[in-house]
Amino acid sequence: MSRIEELRRLLINNKHGALITDDISRRYLSGFGSSAGVILITKEESYLLIDFRYYEKARQRVTDCKVILLENMRTQLMDLLVKHGITVLSIESASMTLSQLNKYKSDYAFITFDESNALSDSITKMRSIKSAEELEKIIAAQRIAEKAFDRLLNNIKIGQTEKHVAALLDYYMAEYGSDGISFDTIAASGANSASPHAVPTDKKLEDGDFLTLDFGATYDGYHSDMTRTVAIGHTTDKMREMYDAVYSANLDAQKAAKPGISGKLLDSVARSTLDAWNYGEYFKHSLGHGVGLEIHEAPTAGPNSTGSLKEGMVVTIEPGAYITGMYGVRIEDMVVITADGCRCLTRTGKGLIVI
């Protein structure tokens, strides 16, 4: 069953349709990436309306929808709605803005719009379970990031700025085939590493710094995500102790990750380990999140998570500890949930590297 066919099961009758307007959803359902266009799903047929910039390539690649050259959205969509007798149209409530919805209501006054979360929730649920093809793309992106990290380790020097290090990492990922960075690369050293979402600054690397690197590559639309914390020059016993605590939390969480475990419980496993090391109070964010066509997507693993992990989900395991004004450590891997546990998708080792 194709993804569109699976969504079609949500349609109550022949007068019920679904309108896909979100760029990520459209790519997921059609297999074709673009910055414009809509998909209309009806009981009988599905259509991708897309403008001249993408039309020819879409015709070549899209197989689950009839591809229509978009010239006038209002009239073309109107014709299709009338052709199929659509009177109720489900929308993506999670991504459609109020102004967009009001425009559709104005243009198609004869349509009742289903503004519930049903369509968005269904797509989110589908996307959370990765196909073999999706997993291959995520792994390809991860291998690019790992290769860039390995190269970076040979080129980090005391006196370089955080901005310089981040730029090198971005350049290496691009050179090894990344379509683009997954998110703004984090390179945070010294006291800056105590901020989980630090932005690279002009601070220079110094002897005795921790340097936290959080980064990811993309491949055919799919993202990767990893974090490694390395030491510059010497380390103190307390720095190594914190590193070992975070390392242990990462390992324990991976051992616990399996189908059926809740994201909340998985998060608590890592927190319990950090508590045992007396670093629990310094873990200031959730344990993990899903990765795929977006860098942050379902599922989540945190204190407020409500769902459970299922086979085929990809989720990050990223415990951390951060002491304001001193330093921080984060170690992040991606795992895929398997029938009896999980498989780590990150090949890069987690032992402390001193440069």
HSE toward the beta carbon, residue 129, CA cutoff 13 A: 11
Question: What pLDDT score was predicted for residue 286?
Answer: 97
Which residues on neighbouring strands pair with residue 186, listed in sequence order? 214
Reported as a single tens digit per residue, the pLDDT across 338-355 is 999 999 999 999 999 999
Contacts of 300 (CB under 8 A, 6+ apart): 263, 286, 288, 289, 290, 307
What average pLDDT does the chain have?
Answer: 97
Rounded mean pLDDT, 302-313: 97
Reported as a single tens digit per residue, the pLDDT across 83-104 is 999 999 999 999 999 999 999 9
Contact predicate 282/330, CB 8 Å: no
- Give the pLDDT band (50/70/90) at residue 43: very high
Contacts of 286 (CB under 8 A, 6+ apart): 267, 300, 301, 302, 303, 304, 305
In the chain, what are the domains? 3-127 (3.40.350.10), 129-344 (3.90.230.10)
Residue 173 to residue 213: CA distance in whole angstroms: 13
Contact predicate 230/211, CB 8 Å: yes
To the nearest whole percent, how much of the chain has pLDDT over 70?
100
By C-alpha distance, which of 186, 191, 314, 331 is closest to 252?
A: 331
- Give the pLDDT band (50/70/90) at residue 1: confident
Residue 344 to residue 334: CA distance in whole angstroms: 6
One-letter amino acid of 138: I
Residue 348 to residue 56: CA distance in whole angstroms: 41
One-letter amino acid of 295: I
Question: What pLDDT score was predicted for residue 36?
Answer: 92
Reported as a single tens digit per residue, the pLDDT across 59-82 is 999 999 999 999 999 999 999 999
DSSP 3-state of 201 = coil
252-271 b/e (C-beta count within 10 Å ≥ 16 → b): bbbebbbbebebbebbbbbb
Question: What pLDDT score was predicted for residue 293?
Answer: 98
Residue 178 to residue 274: CA distance in whole angstroms: 34
